[in-house]
Structure 1
Amino acid sequence: MTVLSVLRAVAGPARLAITHNSQQVAKMSDHRAMNIIPSRFQWNKFKDMLHLYFVGAAIPLLAGIGITNMMVGPATLSEIPEGYVPREDEYYKSPITRFLVRNFTRNEQMEYEKKMQYIWETEHKRQLRLIEKRVKKLMAERGDYKAWYYTPHIARKYQRIVRKETEELMERRPAA
């Protein structure tokens, strides 16, 4: 019996736990567990793209510009050898500006020659139009050249057809 009395002291808290768990408990019924907030997807996406382009483009570009300015440095003035014609990009001080002018801009001579070519082409087209207008006028006046205003006269063909039909009609007609 002493064993049972010892077990009774140990079983007391376990018995309370069993009776406590037998009741139905309604969890999370008094307030919301998840707050509804606006989405931050676009903001997070913007931050990710900004970080990507900054790390992927801006930092290497700035590093390249810095290295170029440190290694090459700005241009210095010097005497031009006789007979040497400097290029247009050699007039700029910064090596990056020289690179941009050399590779991404058109020089004034190129623009001038393009404009002169355009003027020459338009003048040539104008002269051709004047010649064509004069040719059409002369052909309309004379009417002797096979082109826009010439109509060939092929009356012999129709004359033969008409004569043949007339003969056939005369044969069918009864004699009077």
Structure 2
Amino acid sequence: MNFARGLNGPVSLQHSVFSWALLKKLLFSKMSPLAAQALLKPTVYLMPALRESHAAVFRKRPPQLIVNRIKDIAHFYFIGIGILPVILCLAYNHIVYGTCELRDYPEQRSSPTSWCFEKTPVRQWWAKHFGVSDIEHHERNLAYYEKLGIQARWRQIEQRVKHLEGERWDYKAWSYQPTSTSSMDIIHSNLLGLSLLDRRSPVGCFLLSSRCCYIK
């Protein structure tokens, strides 16, 4: 076996090789963090610090799938194929065609219709296919206000009838319930003790007249 002499005496060659490997490993283990911090980006070694700053907490919140779905549908149908195309079409017609102008009636064609007097081509198209003429619109308004006047007159008559019914102690003929003479006699006998059968009072006059009718 070969020996190597050191400061404290002979040391084996295998032991010296093992010591050198251990020393190299210790040096690299101490220098590796410094080298990593110098060569790598700051976010790479700062990210674990941010993630490990507190415990992993899952925050409960209401679901947003339905809300997002509704917003997507509304955005598609109102903006994608609704309001935005209409605005673009109106802007195109206003820029290219502009407002209509009055001209003389053409001699070869028939008399103009009501939708020819609209201001813009879009309004003419709408009045031609979906709208009504000014004459029809005026007649509809007259019919509507006439209906409102008739209903108001009916309400006035109904209020007047109810007022007269309460003032004159009247009754509705179709709600009258016929009674027998025996029941009326019982009512009269009960009211005699209360001195209500007086011709000067409306109740007494009504009861006496009804009794005379039944007696006859």
TM-score normalised by length of structure 1: 0.45
Q: Which has the higher contact order (CA 8 A, sep 6+)?
A: 1
TM-score normalised by length of structure 2: 0.38
